Amino acid sequence: MADPDTPRTLHTLRTRFTRTLEAARGPATDGPDPAPYADNLLTRWQEPQRRYHTVAHLTAVLDHVDALERHAHDPDVVRLAAWFHDAVYLPDRSENEERSARLAERALAEAGVPAARTAEVARLVRLTVTHDPADDDADGQVLCDADLAILASPPSAYAAYTTAVREEYHFVPNDAFRTGRATILRQLLALPRLFRTPHGAKEWEATARYNLRSELELLEESPSGAAPGS
């Protein structure tokens, strides 16, 4: 994968955002230049406190949305939700999803996205608090599956993911981190299904559960706290 912070990668992401925003606005809707909105979001995704929730994560989620597009009701709305879902991210704050949703509501209304689609983007962003979409929520299922797809990574990529999350929470003492992370893992494992799209259920579910169980065992056994994050 290309370096997520290279000018070429950032240019590609700007182009993807422009295409998505213009599609979401609709052919009859004129609006402001998408470039400043893309640049604002990319600046947010490159903030120094981020280790996992970076441009690389944004790119991965967008790629997974593309792969799951056929399962979505409105793929462009899901793509916009991917752009905004961690746009506000401070590891020591608990209301990141809500603040990201409010940012989407302000920015997309100003950018000319119709009210109904703007509201749906914000709803999807808020859904990433629980990653538990309803059975009839096709767009929610695609976004949540795309966001959680990292859980089904091969061992080396999963280890890199957990290391990056631990680095984001470097200010949390080991014991507290281990307890909090274990709680998150148990909550995920308690879900009837981690992945709700047919592709996710078939291709990712078993591997993700194996990774989560393995990580939980390490957290419960290791006193060092050098275990992964979420």
Mean pLDDT (the chain) is: 93
- Span 196-223, mean pLDDT? 94
Q: What's the burial of 104, exposed, middle or buried (CB within 10 Å: 0-12/13-18/19+)?
A: buried
- As to burial, measured by CB atoms within 10 angstroms (0-12 exposed, 13-18 middle, 19+ buried), residue 163 is middle
| pTM confidence score | 0.92
Report pLDDT digits (tens) over 169-195: 999 999 999 999 999 999 999 988 999
Task: Report the Cα 138 to chain-centroid distance in Å.
Answer: 16
Yes or no: say if 126 and 101 are a contact pair by the CB < 8 Å rule. yes
In single-letter form, the type of residue at position 14 comes to R
Residue partners of 1: CB distance under 8 A and separation at least 6: 56, 59
pLDDT for 122 beyond 80: yes
39 pLDDT above the threshold of 50: yes
pLDDT one-digit tens code per residue, 126-179? 999 989 999 999 999 999 999 999 999 999 999 999 999 999 999 999 999 999
